[in-house]
Chain A
């Protein structure tokens, strides 16, 4: 071990890596987060901010933690409880009802609401709405503020973060990762966490681990502020998103573009005329706000596993390696994913939920052309 380093080096300062480092630091661990750019800069800080993921084994912990996060971190996340999901078509309504059934099956109340109730809960929605569901828990937070809150909280606990420091490789010895190589030198470690989003695949490849990932751009738009609705977590009509505490309407959804990953890219710029289709759906859902100006669009690069489910695993070789990808649904689950990853690092297993179905072994028989099979490949440039 070189003079520099930490007990646990976390590769990737996205929301999953940051939360992992924060949980480890809370447990008294000496942590170092390395990021190729700025903390939370990629999709971790550019997403819908939703925190209501019934499908995940981390769901109960997600729900337990979010109401506590401002106090635990010491910095504001803008977390707000509840969601209203409003349908503009019968197919959407059926889908939202199915979602409510899944919530209720877990013991979390999600009520069916009719058109009038939807209007009462969310005054900007269309009088032509077909009703939807009212999720009494869950909610949403501000991704940009939250990622910085994690980073600051890590520092407050004595953890270190080095930005603009891309990891280029690992040194192993005796079946363990002993140090992490970067352009700024080598950092020794007793354990390592790889949570580097789209770049996780190429980093794990260096350790002989094949993590199947494909990355794509997802886009969102934001308007100037609207009058505040009592519940900001209003979406539906094929959109995800929220009204921020400032009043801005921030919504995404619709098609993604598969892109090739490099050590530093692809960049989440530019966005496309898809913003017009997003604007249409927001105007349909919230016609009272249709006069509001769209002032920005933005995108995030999102990585997905072949089944769209996370991989969260403590490996046996190297034995001190833990890796995680949340497959595009990382922000809302981050309070819980960091807890789980810290458990894996410190105890070898998660203390509060079963994660066995999220192991990498499920892809053991994945054919090498899995991306082509699914059509998850970048569009070839014209003329090539």
Chain B
């Protein structure tokens, strides 16, 4: 009794994904200096340009350290969107020029996914980027996509890092420069490379006190300018702990790894050891990446001037690679090695999921599960015996990097910790997946779903014979048990 097949699988995705609300010639994600310059350039060439930027991001996302590691050191000003928008224009005058050239500027708009047909995907009616604000999500098509998403912070754990006042160089720069909403006064900078010194200079320029620059290596990693000459530069030292109260950091202890330690009064620790090109959208869309220490870590494979391996998708600015004289991976590894000498196994590595160093390296399950005796015999070294370390596999077992911040606080440092502990070559990138910004269900939802999607929705594959009880197969009861568009749980 085979069903009459007509060559059409009504439960397949064919024709169900919607076209975008709108399609633009040039879509640019990120209205920092590189993205704005690209918008001006494209507009002058006569293109219709949509320039999208997530700033000002909502205060709640800032609290999740998204997109940068803000470390809870923002003033309440970040809750007033109008003021924040004024700040964004004030801090980037080129935006006005872009507007005057007819560029459509969408601020406070998140880009949460990019979807392009390619290997493993042919169902997209056209290339799109998923956008959202606080109310809803939508898709925008493009002829040309330019990613100018900048760089992300790379936090590193030490005792007490999981409290307000510990932040990243990117988060710090955004709060003092772009937002003028930094809630600290006395800053300690970790790292003396270009990033660390830039952070110290910025703090100085904004009238903040720079208490010290701490460097794990024996000497400064970049030329210290005269403007910073009077700041204590503590080389061969690391942070041993941050202590504080309800409002976060009040003082820190620093010293060589083996001690002795001394205390510094401060309210903010800016981790300025490295940043990572923000490749989330490109990775989630299937674009090619390569690990290039001279370009700041995992960066797009470029097959032409800014051209990625995806057709009509380009990168510009820091997300395409950080120009640095430093071997970024070696420097970050050196810091991580030093910090692993501080504190015990109870130091939290993943804040969202409360995964400690010892749980990470022991490949132990979260605390809400029992830990049977046999688990004591398993750790990262027994996994290594099975094959190269894979961060995504360890994530599944420990939950490190599984939290609501989407691993912004721990992705790189987990990789560095695993690499240090196993003396492995660089750990392969733990993949990014859409939505690359954490969006509420009700915002992400397609409330205006296409009729074809609704009509063709099945809980599983919509194969009529699949759920026929075994005893009924081959009997007269079989026909009645055939279910099209069943709602059975798979």
Contact = CB atoms under 8 A, between A and B. Distances in A.
Interface stretch (B225-233, B295-303, B433-441): B433-441
A381 B369 contact: no
Q: List the 9 shortest-distance A-B pairs measured between CB atoms, nearest first.
A: A308-B466, A308-B463, A375-B9, A276-B446, A293-B438, A144-B396, A280-B445, A255-B13, A163-B387
A148 interface: yes
A295 B459 CA distance: 22
A17 interface: no
A206 interface: no
A130 interface: no
Contacts of A95: 483, 486-488
Given A266-B119, A267-B119, A238 B459 contact: yes
Interface string A253-279: 111111100000111111111111101
A373 B5 contact: yes
B9 A295 contact: no
A271 B433 contact: yes
B434 A297 contact: yes
Interface in B441-470: 441-442, 444-447, 449, 453, 456-461, 463, 465-470
A271 B113 CA distance: 9
A319 interface: no
A35 B161 CA distance: 40
Given A294-B440, A295-B404, A144 B397 contact: yes
A136 interface: no
A105 B481 CA distance: 13
Nearest to B390: A38
Given A76-B371, A255-B12, A283-B442, 15 more contacts: A47-B490, A75-B374, A76-B365, A87-B487, A95-B483, A102-B469, A148-B393, A240-B490, A255-B16, A267-B120, A269-B120, A270-B115, A294-B438, A294-B444, A375-B5
A163 B386 CA distance: 7
Given A55-B468, A297-B435, A272 B441 contact: no
Contacts of A282: 441
19 contacts: A38-B390, A55-B470, A148-B393, A151-B386, A163-B387, A224-B403, A236-B487, A254-B459, A255-B457, A256-B461, A272-B115, A276-B446, A289-B441, A307-B463, A328-B461, A373-B7, A375-B5, A375-B7, A381-B122
A273 B113 contact: yes
Contact of B440 (A255, A265, A290): A290
Dominant secondary structure at the B interface: loop
Interface in A329-343: 329
A364 interface: no
Contact of B120 (A45, A74, A270): A270
A382 B117 contact: yes
Given A246-B368, A293-B404, A293-B438, A75 B375 contact: yes
Contact of B453 (A83, A106, A277): A277
Interface of B: 5-9, 11-14, 16-18, 113, 115, 117, 119-124, 128, 130, 137, 139, 284-286, 353, 365-366, 368-375, 378, 386-388, 390, 393, 396-397, 399, 403-404, 406, 431, 433-435, 438-442, 444-447, 449, 453, 456-461, 463, 465-470, 473-474, 481, 483, 486-490
A275 B444 contact: yes
Contacts, number: 274
B487 A257 contact: no
B380 to A, nearest CB: 13
Which of A74, A148, A275, A309 has the most CB atoms of chain B within a 10 A radius of its CB?
A275
Which of B372, B404, B446, B490 has the most CB atoms of chain A within a 10 A radius of its CB?
B490
Nearest to B377: A156
Contacts of A22: none
B11 A329 contact: no
Contact of B396 (A148, A246, A258): A148
Contacts of B375: 75
Contact of A99 (B113, B396, B453, B488): B488
